[in-house]
Amino acid sequence: MRMHQTNIRETTLDGQRAIVTGANSGIGEAIAKGLAEAGATVVVNYVTDDENAQRVVDEICATGSRAFAIKADVSSEEQVQAMFQSAISELGSIDIVVNNAGLQQDAPFHEMTLAQWRKVIDVNLTGQFLCARAAVREFLRRGLMPQLSCSLGKIICLSSVHDLIPWAGHANYAASKGGVAMLMKTMAQELAMKKIRVNAISPGAIKTPINTSAWATAQAEAALLKLIPYYRVGETRDIARAAVWLASDHSDYVTGATLYVDGGMTLYPEFREGG
Ligand code: BGC
């Protein structure tokens, strides 16, 4: 029984099976690689760009871990069901789901179209609901495997500092992440008695394709750094490390928590010299 006895030195995810959504680039790619490095077999979910999904799979396999890609739009109930079915028939079950897939469609509030609003809510919030529900159904079907983990399953929701910080010009995105925060906590409260852990990571500014314009030029980076007390823009590995910890038994007593991995962005840095 692994119960409460995980040695801090030991490799943490051996034998476990993970799905990471939106894993063909950015934070999702880094999390997929991090989980694989920690011993898990990883399903690299993606919706566009087959080539990059295959590249991530190849890079993981080149390190001796096992991975494969499954194309599915997380906002489609049928596609999410089909993805879980094929992952489970290939791997036997799923132990870890990382709800990472997300996008931005920015617009000034009065110009935001219903299509922009819906797209962001569908992918960022409904997508997390559909994948988490499929995961919970599988965890309950499979039952506890104490040789693999002391919990029945782990769900990690990628949120954002904008589940806390309002963000002008991004009403759809901020609303979706505020929704993720309460979805996560409610799932955690409801599922804890079944030994399912649900947590969130809220990244700050991390260098990925979603926000290239915020850090790619020296001028943009200087403006961004004013918002980051730790004074560096985040790297995707910063988030991957947090995800590996939340997926492992090292965090067995943690559920319903949001880990802000943001270099202090949520510390109101503008108040260092004001107020
Ligand atoms: C957004 C990024 C942004 C960061 C900090 C993230 O959730 O996706 O575009 O740079 O928050 O504002």
- Tokens 């494969």 correspond to 68
Phi-psi region of 57 (alpha: psi -120 to 50; beta: other; left: phi over 0): alpha
Residue 205 in contact with ligand 1 by CB distance below 6 A: yes
Does residue 226 lie within any of the structural domains? Answer: no
Q: Which residues contact 80 (CB under 8 A, 6 or more apart)?
A: 72, 74, 127, 130, 131, 134
What's the gap in Å between 210 CA and the centre of ligand 1?
Answer: 8
- Does 173 qualify as catalytic in the annotation? yes
Residue 270 in domain: no
pLDDT in tens, 58-100: 999 999 999 999 999 999 999 999 999 999 999 999 999 999 9
Please tell me which residue in 46, 173, 253, 260 is annotated as part of the active site. 173
- Residue 195's CATH number: 3.40.50.720
What confidence category does residue 1 fall into, taking pLDDT thresholds of 50, 70 and 90? very low
Does 3 reside within a domain? no
The answer to whether residue 100 sits within a structural domain is: yes
Domain residues for the domain of 33 are 8-208+235-261
Is 225 a member of any domain? no
Q: Is the CB of 145 under 6 A from ligand 1?
A: no
Q: Report yes or no on 267 lying in a domain.
A: no
Domain count, the chain: 1
Is position 22 within any domain? yes
Residue 266 domain flag? no
pTM value > 0.95: yes
Whether 274 shows a pLDDT value over 90: the answer reads: no
